[in-house]
Amino acid sequence: MADDDAERTVEVELHGGPLDGWRVPVAAVDDDPWTAIVSDYGRYPGGRSLYAPDESGRWVWVRDLRWEEL
């Protein structure tokens, strides 16, 4: 992987969960196929909302995490 690829981000739209409709940057190339976003809107305010791409590449809500769970 080239250094440029490691630093490149793309903007994705989140679907479902507390951040539905938000657009966020994610790494274009990443070993972890998900993102955990600090959120006051999920089940655990101040925790994180976990999103991952589905089979079609659409970023969907997986679950909310307490701050210390990640």
* pLDDT per position as a tens digit, 14-70: 999 999 999 999 988 877 889 999 999 999 999 999 999 999 999 999 999 999 987
User: Is 0.75 topped by the overall pTM?
Assistant: yes
Whether the Cβ atoms of residue 26 and residue 51 lie closer than 8 Å to each other = no
Side by side, which strands form the sheet with 47-53?
Answer: 23-27, 9-15, 59-65, 47-53, 35-39
Q: Residue 11: which domain range?
A: 3-69
Q: At residue 62, what is the residue type?
A: V
Domains identified in the chain, total number: 1
Give CA torsion, residues 66, 54, 7, 32, to 10 deg: 50
Strand partners, 14: 59
